[in-house]
């Protein structure tokens, strides 16, 4: 696999120059069709589908060591109206395939370059991977059978493993051993074939990275997506995805590119995460840089700069302590930057998030490391004009 290259690989400010294999990846969540009202059609109307190389559909679950859907209604049962349909045609109530999967089929027909990958796990549903790792072949075969279900066969081009975290602790603790993830990916590659897309999301925490053999995992994967965000959280319910809330009463940058004055942990940066993966022997072309399309915020803050005291998490529209970029761009515009990311101090609130400018700088960093591309968590947080995804694409020089 070729990767992002820069004319001068030692200069992180160098404009990214992608090859044909540079990946532009975005996550679409099945729960986003509810409160957020972010539909598959929005990927067409906001232009995202034409810019992405891969769309990761989150999440399926791992139940009894086997792949399974999490929300049948949203995934493949809900009748889609003509107004919400990619091609303007409503689903018949008795159509064999409706919901998101039916719309994804239509989206792929309109954008034949787009690969769609079913992502399994996530913060809430990773516990089943421990069982899957005990019999990887059975797990992989169950995934193959699920992807080949006659109702939606052809919609999905592969499987993304979002295991939080192999041989380490997330919501639950895993003791599968350093080779657990590699075994699972090896089995998936065998079951799905060479042409399938097989990927994995990997932790940003350096110590969690040390717990598994990511070089072996990368050998079987098209890429490893480094979750280079959520280094620090607010202690709100928005921290359910594993943000480190060890210092919840002090503001901190949730996705810094580099260190900054007052950072709670020196190695809690994107640079440290990428350097750790590279030092473990993961090829740079098989590493994707993660970019958050949301921010984390505190209230009752004492300082405009990072590190000030706070009384607790700020209110978010959907989750406490968390807010989509599309909302923050108006609610609390940037007032400063540090560590290669932005923050906004608005009255008693303080928010940390990426902007189009900081994302472009991160893409230049990715080029300086010859990384394989970038991915976004997750697409519903962007503006209607796709300002953040546009920054990813233009930052790569596409």
Q: How many residues does the chain have?
A: 398
What is the three-class DSSP state of 40?
A: helix
Instruction: Report pLDDT digits (tens) over 294-311.
Output: 999 999 999 999 999 999
Rounded Cα distance between 293 and 171, Å, is: 23
Q: What is the mean pLDDT of residues 134-141?
A: 98
Average pLDDT, the chain: 93
- φ and ψ at residue 364, rounded to 5 degrees: -65, -40
Instruction: Report pLDDT digits (tens) over 179-196.
Output: 999 999 999 999 999 999
Contact 392, 291 (CB under 8 A): yes
Strand partners, 10: none
Contact 354, 388 (CB under 8 A): yes
Contact 296, 321 (CB under 8 A): yes
Has residue 10 got a pLDDT over 70?
no
Rounded Cα distance between 363 and 154, Å, is: 32
pLDDT band, residue 1 (cuts 50/70/90): very low
pTM comes to 0.93
Has residue 12 got a pLDDT over 60?
no
Q: What is the mean pLDDT of residues 31-48?
A: 97
Which two tokens mark 174?
A: 């895993």
In the numeric block, the tokens 């950072």 are attached to: 263
Return the higher-pLDDT residue of 246 and 146. 146
pLDDT band, residue 314 (cuts 50/70/90): very high
Helix or strand run (H / E) with residue 58: strand 54-63
Q: What is the mean pLDDT of residues 362-379?
A: 98
Has residue 240 got a pLDDT over 60?
no
pLDDT band, residue 243 (cuts 50/70/90): low
| 164 catalytic per annotation | yes
pLDDT band, residue 16 (cuts 50/70/90): very low
- Burial class of residue 265, CB neighbours in 10 A (0-12, 13-18, 19+): middle
* Torsion sign (Cα): 360, 366, 370, 374: negative
- Which is nearest to 69 in space by CA: 124, 146, 159, 171? 146
Catalytic one of 164, 319, 323, 349: 164
Predicted confidence at residue 6, as pLDDT, reads: 33
| Helices and strands counted in the chain (H then E) | 13, 15
Please name each of the domains of the chain with its CATH number. 23-231+269-293+355-395 (3.20.20.80)
Has residue 105 got a pLDDT over 50?
yes
Q: What is the mean pLDDT of residues 323-352?
A: 98
Instruction: Report pLDDT digits (tens) over 157-179.
Output: 999 999 999 999 999 999 999 99
Q: Is there a cis peptide before residue 371, judged by omega within 30 degrees of 0?
A: no
Q: From residue 67, give the alpha-carbon distance in Å to each of 35, 134, 201, 225, 361.
A: 26, 14, 16, 20, 37
Share of the chain above pLDDT 70, in %: 92
Predicted confidence at residue 5, as pLDDT, reads: 31
Predicted confidence at residue 248, as pLDDT, reads: 64
Predicted confidence at residue 11, as pLDDT, reads: 37
Predicted confidence at residue 239, as pLDDT, reads: 62
């Amino acid at each position: 696999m070729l990767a992002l290259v820069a004319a001068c690989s030692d200069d992180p400010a160098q404009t990214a120059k992608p090859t044909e294999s540079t990946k532009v990846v975005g996550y679409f969540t099945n729960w986003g069709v509810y409160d957020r009202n972010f539909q598959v059609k929005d990927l067409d109307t906001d232009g995202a589908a034409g810019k992405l190389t891969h769309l990761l559909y989150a999440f399926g679950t791992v139940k009894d060591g086997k792949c399974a859907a999490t929300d049948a209604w949203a995934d493949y049962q809900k009748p889609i109206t003509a107004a919400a349909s990619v091609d303007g045609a409503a689903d018949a109530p008795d159509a064999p395939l409706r919901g998101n999967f039916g719309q994804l089929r239509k989206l792929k027909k309109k954008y034949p370059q787009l690969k769609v990958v079913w992502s399994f796990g996530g913060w809430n549903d990773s516990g089943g991977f421990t069982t899957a790792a005990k019999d990887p072949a059975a797990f992989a075969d169950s995934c193959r059978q699920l992807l080949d279900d006659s109702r939606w066969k052809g919609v999905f081009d592969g499987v993304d493993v979002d295991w939080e975290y192999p041989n380490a602790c997330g919501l639950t603790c895993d003791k599968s051993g350093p080779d657990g993830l590699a075994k699972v990916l090896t089995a998936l590659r065998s079951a799905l074939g060479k042409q399938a897309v097989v990927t994995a999301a990997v932790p940003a925490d350096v110590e969690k990275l040390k717990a598994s053999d990511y070089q072996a995992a990368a050998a079987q994967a098209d890429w490893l997506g480094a979750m280079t965000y959520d280094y620090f959280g607010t202690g709100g319910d928005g921290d359910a995805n594993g943000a480190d809330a060890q210092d919840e009463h002090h503001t901190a940058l949730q996705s810094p590119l580099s260190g900054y004055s007052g950072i709670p942990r020196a190695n809690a940066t994107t640079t440290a995460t990428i350097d750790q993966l590279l030092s473990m022997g993961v090829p740079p072309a098989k590493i994707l840089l993660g970019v958050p399309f949301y921010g984390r915020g505190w209230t009752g803050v004492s300082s405009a700069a990072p590190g000030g005291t706070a009384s607790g998490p700020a209110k978010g529209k959907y989750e406490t302590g968390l807010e989509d970029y599309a909302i923050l761009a108006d609610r609390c515009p940037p007032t400063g930057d540090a560590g290669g990311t932005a923050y906004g101090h608005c009255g008693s609130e303080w928010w940390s998030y990426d902007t189009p400018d900081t994302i472009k700088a991160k893409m230049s960093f990715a080029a300086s490391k010859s990384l394989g591309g970038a991915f976004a968590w997750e697409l519903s947080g962007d503006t209607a004009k796709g300002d953040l995804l546009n920054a990813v694409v233009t930052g790569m020089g596409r």
